[in-house]
Amino acid sequence: MSDADEHRTAGLRSFTQRLGIRLPVRGSWGTDQRRHSRFRRGRVLAVLAVLVACLLAFHSAVPNTVGRIGSLLETFLPWLGLAVPLLLVAALLRRSVTALVALLLPVAAWSFLFAPLLPPASGEQSGLVAVQHNVSDVNTDPAGTARALLRVRPDLVALEEVTPAALPAYEKELARHLPYHAVVGTVGLWSAHPLEDVRPVDIKPRGFGPGWNRALRATAVTPQGPVAVHVAHLPSVRLGPRHGFSSAWRDESARLLGAALAVEKEARVILLGDLNGTVDDRGLDPVLAHVGVAGPGFAFSWPASFPVARIDQILARAAAVARVRSLPATGSDHLPIAATITL
């Protein structure tokens, strides 16, 4: 071994020892300096791998009583898989067979939950193209945002945080291809098909003022028959040191939205909205009890600068939602998402 190699090896051992990782003798998968075999060493890493697997497989068992930590975990659940390569590197450095075997558990759990989302949809699929976008109430280019959404030739476009000042720009641009629209409060729906029976949906949590209107329903008269389309914008969640993951208002609003979906008379239902939660978050269970989750595609939508979660949703009942994808950024802090819906 050259002097440079010895120097690098000594530096690596010093760094790993500060992390609490003791490396075995170079090139050896036998006993280390403490006479631990490749099966005895790395037990802490193995325990961490089992813990990650348990959090993935049994995330619903994590209590939501303190700081709603269960919902917080479920919001970023796919990212828990990043622990696997980190533990893998540590296991290889430690030359621990036990840790490597234990890593099969989180790999299996993550694959079971999220591998079906990885393969891209093959071939073109026919159906309604729906776009969901929280356009942001501070968007400085509503006209440009509207034109960007039209590039995928949608049949339905749902918008949230539509301000009175920006509404004329959205109406003007979207009407070029989507002649029918309805707006209630700060949410709007634009459609290529006629809209009937438009009305607001009350999802307002207790204590909110009468001017808080963030949901609507309409019947879209499509060539395949009538479809109830709901557009909703649930309250935001907050993350802070004092109260943890604050989602009480979002959860209450989700229960009201779920109740509205439960009494919807149309057999086919499409839900478009910023639900401020992922489909893994138990806070949305009252909604998901009445609509199915979308097909392949992670389609992270928030924040636009570095998307880490899909909190904007396109869901349906008695219809299949496929080809879910994120669209290029607009002037919003959310990315638009699009999906093909087969009725």
Per mean pLDDT, which range of 43-52, 89-98, 300-309 is the poorest? Answer: 89-98
In a domain, 122, yes or no: no
| pLDDT score at 68 | 85
Query: Residue 100 and residue 98: Cα distance in Å, rounded?
Result: 5
Q: What is the DSSP string of 274-342?
A: E-SS-TT-GGGHHHHTTSBPP-S-----BSTTS--B--EEEEEESSEEEEEEEPPP-SSSS--EEEEEE
Domain identity same for 28 and 92: yes
Domain boundary at 116, 146, 163, which? 116
Q: In this predicted model, which residue has the larger pLDDT, 313 or 116?
A: 313
Query: Residue 294 and residue 338: Cα distance in Å, rounded?
Result: 11
In a domain, 231, yes or no: yes
Domain identity same for 28 and 151: no
Domain identity same for 204 and 159: yes
| pLDDT score at 64 | 86
Peptide bond into 78 cis (omega under 30): no
In a domain, 312, yes or no: yes
In a domain, 123, yes or no: no
Query: Residue 39 and residue 62: Cα distance in Å, rounded?
Result: 31
Domain identity same for 308 and 227: yes
CATH assignment at residue 265: 3.60.10.10
Domain identity same for 179 and 208: yes
Domain identity same for 186 and 229: yes
Query: Residue 151 and residue 342: Cα distance in Å, rounded?
Result: 20
Domain identity same for 191 and 306: yes
In a domain, 132, yes or no: yes
Q: For residue 41, is pLDDT > 90?
A: no
Q: CB of 329 within 8 A of CB of 304?
A: yes
Domain boundary at 66, 90, 116, which? 116
In a domain, 169, yes or no: yes
Domain identity same for 87 and 132: no
Domain limits at 62? 3-116
Strand 320-326 to strand 238-240: parallel, antiparallel, or no bridges (unpaired)? unpaired
Count helices and strands in the chain by DSSP H and E runs: 10, 13
- Average pLDDT of span 254-281: 97
pLDDT tens, 135-172? 999 999 999 999 999 999 999 999 999 999 999 999 99
Domain identity same for 190 and 332: yes
Domain identity same for 202 and 338: yes
Domain identity same for 50 and 135: no
pLDDT tens, 282-331? 999 999 999 998 888 899 999 999 999 999 999 999 999 988 999 999 99
Domain identity same for 51 and 184: no
The pTM (predicted TM-score) of the whole model is 0.84
In a domain, 7, yes or no: yes
Domain count, the chain: 2
In a domain, 121, yes or no: no
Domain boundary at 70, 89, 116, which? 116
